[in-house]
Structure 1
Amino acid sequence: MNEAVKVSPKEFEKQPDGSWLCVKNSDIKSNYGVYRIAPGTTFEKGKPLWGIDVAELLEQANPN
């Protein structure tokens, strides 16, 4: 089964090193539940959390 995951890029800022920094409380919604992300949490591509590559999702949602 392909998991549907939703994340709002407006709650994150892309850093110069390519990582994404959470700047305000954010929820990642998936078929398995909702995960609350606290400000200050950083995500890097290829380093999944709960099996979700959050940085990749943010790249797809905000290709700039």
Structure 2
Amino acid sequence: MTNNIKVERAKKNITQAELAKLINVSRQTINAMELGKYVPSTVLALRLAHVFEVEVSDIFALEESDWT
């Protein structure tokens, strides 16, 4: 799964720590998501979408390997 969390953070001009506080996770969780090492739960993905004021599909996309 790919994501645009870093891009969306840049648009809002917020740090990993600020985003983490907004969605009630650690900064390390944000970092892991940005690096593709952690796939968030549906609830967490919806929180991110709410903060960024976009659809979940604007942040996350499946890769071909996710289908096999």
TM-score (norm 2): 0.30
Quick check: which one's helix share is greater?
2
Q: Which structure is richer in relative contact order (CA contacts within 8 A, separation 6 or more)?
A: 2
TM-score (norm 1): 0.31
